[in-house]
Amino acid sequence: MEATHDVLVVGAGCAGMRAAIEAHDAGADVGVISKLHPTRSHSGAAEGGINAALGNAAEDSPEIHAFDTVKGSDYLGDQDAIEIFTREAPGDIYQLEHWGAFFSRREDGKLAQRPFGAAGSPRTVFAADITGHVLIQVLYEQLVKRDITVYEEYFAWKLVENDGRCQGVICWDLLNGGLKTVGGKTVVLATGGQGRIYRTTTNAYACTGDGAAMALRLGLPLKDMEFMQFHPTTLYPTGILLTEGCRGEGAYLINSEGERFMKRYAPNAMELASRDVVSRSEQTEIDAGRGINGSVMLDMRHLGAERIIERLPGSRELSMTFAGVDPIYDPVPVRPGAHYHMGGVETGNDGETELTGLYAAGEVACVSVHGANRLGGNSLMETITFGRRAGRAAAEWALSNTTVDVPRSAEADAERELKALLDVSSGERAWQIRNDLGTSMLENFGVFRRDEQMTTQVEIIAGLRERYKRGVVVEDKGEVFNSDLTQAIELGNMLDLAACMLQAGVARKESRGAHARPYDYPDRDDENFMKHSISRWVDGGPELSWKDVRYTKYDPMERKY
């Protein structure tokens, strides 16, 4: 074994680093595993802001924030988790600010807050439009200040279960080669999302669902896997994110006829309707022939150069670099792209999973705060609030237990499996199957879902998994920076998760949040589907069951709210 720690955090984005800091401050010896340098984690790509009911811009409260989140989730969010989240968010914002997070301010010195989609008050705290970048630097400073051990460029491959609990992680050492085992009395998964299952996505290349796949293979339940949020404004043709902050500052969406089309779909909220509504509206315009090259246009010209340069400098730079358009002078082509996965490893309110010693936080986890649709600005806040809670719970458990024992057989099995992967000499390259997966998912399980397309996609995924089993050739047999090998492993993760997503999607015969079936089940069906889907891996395939949503005071049946 390479080393052992009280708490081992897998992933070094906002959730992972916040968990590590909290566990350390609770007295635990902490190690962090990351396949990237921490400041290269995908949290750094978050742009628009982080939600907390500070009430600086208008009247607000944790209760109003909670209701907006419940309603935005299409009532599938677990309300006890949402109430914890909205109650603790303001304190977490102030702590980040005291650590040095350089948030934008109002003229009176208070933290500025901008409006975001489906929010009852302007509650999104922001640092221009590079909020995630600022947070990840601040958290990394705190990690370094505490001298927390980081196993950089360690690719987490398998969780070690022994004696009925999680006791470590088997990794591939990217820098030096070879398998390394790091033991932990407790393990916190914070590995992020799986947007790379889709061809067009705002997600980094690293977002391949590794943590969820590792948990799935240990028999743990994944929750609400059918819900993939499409962000309405991703740049054509790259899929790079343009923040919701553009619309929060007042940008318009227009079609090929120059019409501000959101007045047809959401006459009150217009461009600041929830993300699922805006994405569906855009796709409807594009499908009706009122798009340009499969896109609509985001128009910021009326905001003026000064406001764009002050509030949206990152968005302007991205537009100029990747679309060749300066938004001060011209509208920018945008379209919906896969952005955020509401589903993930099922956890309790302290990040605990079904397996003793294993916790999860951030996008890999499903608490569920977001239900069927996440509100913009809520995910960065979730990484901090639930990262902190998971870190503390993991530390408290670890400090009251003493042993770490990774059986030699677990390492031997992993070595054998790895050798089998490297020994394949004829077959396909991983990127070929990955391309087919990404293209078909976008086509058959995108903004709108049709029964026949989903059925086709189930067969396509079965075929892709068969191709993967027959053999993926890892041409690079070397030890150092073997990205050929890690991409083959990532592909296996994504294929398994896609199978879970499709099974749950076919079974949910309604339209709710990001799961829209307008052609066969256009309405929400509270009677039959006001429940979470639960996916487990049984005998080489996904098995589906259902679980009740946890309520406190917002009852969708009464429609009082």
Q: Which residues are catalytic?
A: 275
| For range 277-303, the mean pLDDT | 96
What average pLDDT does range 43-53 have in this prediction? Answer: 93
Distance between CA atoms of residues 126 and 49, nearest Å: 4
What is the predicted pLDDT for the residue at 117? Answer: 86
Three-state DSSP class for residue 134: helix
- 231 backbone dihedrals φ, ψ, rounded to 5°: -80, 135
pLDDT computed for residue 419 by the predictor: 92
For 223-241, the pLDDT digits (tens) are 999 999 999 999 998 999 9
Q: Tell me, what's the pLDDT at 403?
A: 86
List, for residues 95-125, the tens digit of each pLDDT value.
999 999 999 999 999 999 999 988 999 999 9
User: Which of the four pLDDT bands, split at 50, 70 and 90, describes residue 558?
Assistant: low
pLDDT in tens, 6-46: 999 999 999 999 999 999 999 999 999 999 999 999 999 99
Helix, strand, coil abundance in the chain, percent, nearest 5: 40, 20, 40
CA angle, 192 as apex, 187 and 197 as ends, to 5°? Answer: 130
pTM above 0.85, yes or no: yes
The CB-side HSE value for 549 (13 A sphere, CA atoms) comes to 29
The predicted model gives 477-488 an average pLDDT of: 92
287's enclosing H/E stretch is helix 275-287
Rounded distance between C-alpha atoms, residue 528 and residue 49, angstroms: 35
What does the alpha-carbon distance between residue 491 and residue 468 come to, in Å, rounded to a whole number? 8
Distances (CA, A) of 557 to 64, 274, 299, 527: 19, 21, 39, 9
Q: Is the pLDDT of residue 190 over 70?
A: yes
Find the mean pLDDT for residues 319-344.
96
pLDDT confidence of residue 178: 92
The domains of the chain, with CATH numbers, are 3-227+340-399 (3.50.50.60), 233-336 (3.90.700.10), 408-520 (1.20.58.100)
**pLDDT value, residue 401:** 84
| Residue 559, pLDDT score | 52
**Confidence grade of residue 560 (pLDDT, cut at 50, 70, 90):** very low
* Inter-residue contact 342 to 276 (CB < 8 Å): no
Q: How far is CA 58 from CA 84, 89, 191, 405, 465, in A?
A: 22, 17, 35, 54, 52
pLDDT bracket for residue 556 (50, 70, 90): confident
- Give the pLDDT mean for 192-210: 95
Looking at residue 561, what is its pLDDT? 42
The model's pLDDT over 92-102, given as tens digits with 9 standing for 90+, comes to 999 999 999 99
Predicted confidence at residue 327, as pLDDT, reads 97
pLDDT mean across residues, the chain: 95
Mean pLDDT of 391-408: 93
